[in-house]
Chain A
Amino acid sequence: MSINRRQFLRRAGMITALGLGSSFIISGFRKKEVAEAAEYGKSSKDLPAKRWAMVVDMSKFKTEEDFKRVTDACHSLHNVPDFKNTKDEIKWIWKDDYHHAFAGGHNQYLDDHVIHSPFMVLCNHCENPPCVKACPTQATFKRNDGIIAMDFHRCIGCRFCMGACPFGARSFNFKDPRPYIEEISTEYPTRTIGVVEKCNFCYELLAKGLEPACVAKSNGGLIFGDLADTNSEVRKIVSTKHTIRRKPELGTQPSVYYLIGGDDHA
């Protein structure tokens, strides 16, 4: 019962055609209708901007209470857990001293008041964000309005972004954060263990036409606006008054400016 070469090739061809054809019959006719005639758009309340930026007016941050009020407003809105120890600490906006905030070659004759003042620090939402380049899954990305946002769904917890960020603005969830959230806010989801998080300039509030939570509670100490808009308050302050930024020599172009000295300030 031997077959010759021609018969073998013919049978092999028939079986291949049968296989391909039946796979088409099974999958081809059952194709899911995914394309429903639907569209996506922005909310009518959405605040448009080309580059969101913040000015921190240091003259408005004098007491411990000024810092705590702003930090609490942010951390309670975004369900930031409190692990009660600095190793696991999660921070979105917090205070730090001059030497840590503006590290490297400070002016030794600088006003004592400035050197010893704490500063409000947060993610700088850089123009050239090193964290975005480091992220292997594009979980961290730059939005069109300049905000460096995180897609927590995509974060795999590799922490390359934390190594890349020169400002220490990112925190990692070493533990499940849910049990450590004192009061759950329904305005924002929580995170899970193994996810990096940071300030997001409250883009979820901007989409509803509201200003960021920290700005609302800062009593004018934090000024928020579009740097690309020549009439915005932040643009006017940055172009007319003396402001400094954290580690500008690294070329990341931070969007958070510190207003010290001048007029009634500092």
Chain B
Amino acid sequence: MYKGGKIIASLIIFIGLLTLPFFYNMGKANAGPDVPLDTPAIQQLADKDKECVESPEYMRANHMQLLNDWRTAAVRDGQTVYVNSKGTEYEISLQDTCLKCHATDTAASPVVLNNPVSSNTGMSNPTLNSSNSSPQFCASCHDYSAVKPLCWSCHFEPKEAVK
């Protein structure tokens, strides 16, 4: 190879520069959000109410798809009851069903975030007024993964009406 030594040396330097960030961050894995599932609000519920509409694994992976299906069923097809895989019936309502457990607990300590960059306000659209913040349960993961769903520019936590 013509001038092979120089080419190979340059390639090694190039790859070294390219992978520098990976080596730099090695061993500093971000632990991810710590979502409290054991809040006082949930502890007060009866045992049978402590289970989510589907299994936690399913909800973690597919809650967005499920919410889309709920929306289509309730708004477009007028079907307001969801029968889950175990045969339990739930009312299709973001506010009355999801937030019954996942509402922000003002008394409890705020959600612990390991990622220092994120805040727990979860503004869906900063141009709108600040009352449309996500519940902390939603925000703890959405902020971490920089997802900005628009749910709370129209829907709200019941506590806001009490203010």
A interface vs B, CB < 8 Å? 32-34, 36-43, 46, 141, 143-145, 149, 151-153, 176, 178-179, 183-186, 189-193, 203, 207
Is there contact, CB below 8 Å, between B75 and A153? Answer: yes
What is the minimal beta-carbon distance from A175 to any residue of chain B, in angstroms?
A: 11
Is there contact, CB below 8 Å, between A41 and B85? Answer: no
What is the minimal beta-carbon distance from A114 to any residue of chain B, in angstroms?
A: 37
B residues within 8 A CB of A145?
Answer: 78
Is there contact, CB below 8 Å, between A176 and B128? Answer: yes
Is there contact, CB below 8 Å, between A40 and B155? Answer: no
Closest to A138 in B: B76
Among A144, A189, A192, which residue has its beta carbon within 8 angstroms of that of B78?
Answer: A144
- B156 CB-CB contact with A under 8 Å: yes
B interface vs A, CB < 8 Å? 54, 58, 61-62, 65, 69, 71, 73, 75-85, 89, 91-92, 95, 125, 128-129, 131-132, 150, 153-156, 158, 160-161
**Chain A residues touching B, majority SS:** loop
In the bound complex, CA of A152 to CA of B76 (Å): 11
Is there contact, CB below 8 Å, between A41 and B83? Answer: yes
Is there contact, CB below 8 Å, between A185 and B156? Answer: no
Is there contact, CB below 8 Å, between B62 and A32? Answer: yes
Is there contact, CB below 8 Å, between B85 and A37? Answer: yes
Is there contact, CB below 8 Å, between B62 and A40? Answer: no
Is there contact, CB below 8 Å, between B58 and A33? Answer: yes
Is there contact, CB below 8 Å, between B81 and A185? Answer: no
Is there contact, CB below 8 Å, between A143 and B78? Answer: yes
Is there contact, CB below 8 Å, between B58 and A192? Answer: no
Among B75, B79, B92, B131, which residue has its beta carbon within 8 angstroms of that of A151?
Answer: B75
Is there contact, CB below 8 Å, between A38 and B79? Answer: no
